[in-house]
Amino acid sequence: MYVLIGGAGLIGLSLAHRLVELGHTVAVIDVDPTACRYAREQVGAIAFEGSAVSTEMLLEAGIRKADALAAVLRSDALNLAMVTLAKHYGVTHILSRMRHADFAQPLRFSGANHIISTVDLAVSTMVNAIEYPQIESMMHFEQGQIEVLKLSIPQNCYVVNRSVAEIAQDFRFPNGSLIIGYQPHPHDNLTIPNGSTVLEPGSTVLIVTKPGSLHQVIDFIEGCK
């Protein structure tokens, strides 16, 4: 994929570095010549020195051929302008960082497919780490209406040596929840379980549930025999 990134700050350069590692062709636009030089020499990205909201610069950077664009500039207003231009030039996959919630609707209306609030993301991660220390990781979908959590299976809990089908039929397992991933051991790959998959002690599961059922899921998984 050809990915265009507006902004060569910490997030922009980190994103570019990861995408280059994954084999994508990445172009970065920034007004800072030092940041552009770093992107070329240390990250392995193409770098264009100039404004990411300049039509001339965007065309020079190849916006018409971009498969995806990420606007991670220093202000929401600049990101909004870049998203609008990306939509105008036909980019189908547009992402934008957002600092203030007031820009969520304008960004979405202008064509952003994904809006990432850096403040909300950081706060949610910290709250989850404080409130649910046993959860290895948690992801939010559909504006927080769905949660995906990663949990380890304790040695002597209810679900040890039980199949996914048995767990799903247990009245204590919250309705609307589903085990969607299974990792028998830390060095094994994550797999998609079926009804006959048996959960071993020390294994890890991915569970999708509703926010209101989080405590019930955790209590059930960690409940002792």
**2-117: which CATH architecture?**
3-Layer(aba) Sandwich (3.40)
5 token code pair: 């990134």
Spans of all domains in the chain: 2-117, 128-222
Write out the chain's pLDDT in tens, 225 residues: 999 999 999 999 999 999 999 999 999 999 999 999 999 999 999 999 999 999 999 999 999 999 999 999 999 999 999 999 999 999 999 999 999 989 999 999 999 999 988 777 677 667 666 766 666 666 666 555 778 888 888 887 878 899 999 998 988 888 889 999 999 888 888 899 999 999 988 888 989 888 788 888 888 888 765
Cα pseudo-dihedral 185, 136, 141, 8, rounded to 10: -100
The neighbour count for residue 88, using CB atoms within 10 Å, is 13
pTM of the predicted structure, to 2 decimals: 0.68
Place of tokens 């700050």: 9
Q: CATH classification of 128-222, choosing from 3.20.20.70, 3.30.70.1450, 1.10.3720.10, 3.40.50.920?
A: 3.30.70.1450
